[in-house]
Amino acid sequence: MFERSVIIVAGGSGSRMNSSLPKQFLPLAGLPILMHSVNVFRRFDRSISIVIALPEQFITQWRELCLKHQFIEKHLITPGGITRFHSVNNALVMVPDHGFVAIHDAVRPLVSVETIHTAFLEAEHYGNAIPCLQVNESVRRVEGEMNFPVPRNSLKLIQTPQVFRTALIKKAYALADRHDYTDDATVLEATGEKIHLVKGNVENIKITHPFDLLLAETLLKEMLPSGS
Amino acid sequence: MFERSVIIVAGGSGSRMNSSLPKQFLPLAGLPILMHSVNVFRRFDRSISIVIALPEQFITQWRELCLKHQFIEKHLITPGGITRFHSVNNALVMVPDHGFVAIHDAVRPLVSVETIHTAFLEAEHYGNAIPCLQVNESVRRVEGEMNFPVPRNSLKLIQTPQVFRTALIKKAYALADRHDYTDDATVLEATGEKIHLVKGNVENIKITHPFDLLLAETLLKEMLPSGS
């Protein structure tokens, strides 16, 4: 059995959600989104190590939320950096060098246990596993004033958790010569590793707009009829 | 005021929805999806001409559904062809040569009146108008065994209704030398016309999987709180 960790990146400031709360703290079925994300990794593996990367100014508020909701799942907190890259880089320090690490967006609380399971399993074989979905709509590429059709069958929408052999992603972050990456797979790829895609789950939406929160509420009711 | 028509393409056979009903007939808030799509165009313009392209084997069932739901919105029906291209081509015959025509997927019942309005207005100026949305997720392109990151800012997800000066899209369909198009903008583009993108609405989802139907139910409740 390999050692497993997850870094949950909770860097949002809430600007697109018309809310003073950062989006990772917005309530979803009564519980902050971030707690749902922690819970699903805990359901996947009772002993997984959880590291949350959170902007420094929200850490006190998070501790208060944990008290309020009697949220006792064990986790470490690391202050987020000025970009997503810096946040993940800070969090990787807290993860043991051996084993495997998932890097997950806090605002994807509806990832399924099955997606997490598949990603760890395939990463153990291929060194990395990146969940993705088909594109269901026609796609065009805009280039200046022009735009062109793109064959949609060749495109995949990328999700998280992205799972890596910890030593490989640590090395990739150490070697990176740019800090504007928004996607961990691309950081790894820069070291010459081949990216291994696996199937994500369609409910695993990224909560970006108020619309998404509404959708997540509905999906959560369907996915967890018992209410937790 | 230009003459306005809409072709609603209802070609689905239901195979992906785990249902013997074709997906355009599945109930959404108690009403077949196709009726919602008709209703929104009628809300946009009381006098728009509506042509529904429907596979021949479903026409009787559609008439029965209209009776059952006392659905009296005036519309023409044209039998769908073996591909989407043939269905639209058949339907275009029913549309007057002058004015503007929207071509809409029946399974997008949540298009907003505003999206339709914008598309007609801009088509009157540019000859065509194609609603689209930004991509919110990282995207990769698969090529054989390899895959590569694609800058998502350059990509747009294409929606319907796609609105055209009727004479231009009729000419494009007449000149087309392939019949496997899945998108009317691309048919027009083959004649050398430039495609004009406009903003779609985020609720304007394409109902493809059971997941989408659940989502549509939720959205409909939010968009039409009065229940119609």
Q: What is the pLDDT of residue A226?
A: 47
CB atoms A218 and B222 under 8 Å = no
Residue type, A136: N
- Percentage with pLDDT > 90 across chain A: 77
Range of the domain at B66: 4-111+159-194+202-223
Closest CA to B26 of B221, B193, B210: B210
Q: Does A142 touch chain B (CB under 8 A)?
A: yes
A135 lies in some domain: no
Q: Which of B137, B162, B197, B217 to mutate to test the interface with A (most CBs of A within 10 A)?
A: B137
Domain count, chain B: 1
By the 8 A CB rule, do A40 and A134 touch? no
Average pLDDT over residues B78-83: 89
Q: What is the pLDDT of residue A80?
A: 87
CB atoms B136 and A183 under 8 Å = no
B151 lies in some domain: no
What are the structure tokens assigned to A47, written together?
A: 């002993």
* Average pLDDT taken over every residue of chain A: 92
By the 8 A CB rule, do B6 and B102 touch? yes
Q: Is the pLDDT of residue B222 over 80?
A: no
* Separation of alpha carbons B157 and B131, rounded Å: 9
Render pLDDT for B169-178 as a digit per residue (tens, 0 to 9). Answer: 999 999 998 8
Render pLDDT for A190-206 as a digit per residue (tens, 0 to 9). Answer: 999 999 999 999 999 99
B215 lies in some domain: yes
Average pLDDT over residues B75-95: 94
Strand stretches in chain A, DSSP E: 4-9, 27-28, 31-32, 49-54, 76-79, 100-105, 128-134, 139-143, 146-150, 155-158, 162-165, 197-199
A150 lies in some domain: no
Is residue B97 helix, strand or coil?
coil
A57 lies in some domain: yes
A228 lies in some domain: no
B131 lies in some domain: no
Q: Is the pLDDT of residue B226 over 50?
A: no
Q: Which ranges constitute the DSSP H helices of chain B?
A: 33-44, 59-68, 84-92, 113-126, 166-175, 184-189, 210-223
Residue A90: CATH number of its domain: 3.90.550.10
Q: What is the pLDDT of residue A21?
A: 86
CB atoms A214 and B197 under 8 Å = no
Per-residue pLDDT band for A81 (boundaries 50, 70, 90) equals confident
Query: Of the segments A13-22, B93-102, B146-155, which one has the largest average pLDDT value?
Result: B93-102
Render pLDDT for A177-188 as a digit per residue (tens, 0 to 9). Answer: 888 888 899 999
Q: Is the pLDDT of residue A227 over 70?
A: no
Q: Is the pLDDT of residue B15 over 70?
A: no
Q: Is the pLDDT of residue B225 over 60?
A: no
Q: Is the pLDDT of residue A228 over 80?
A: no
B147 lies in some domain: no
* Separation of alpha carbons A213 and A15, rounded Å: 14
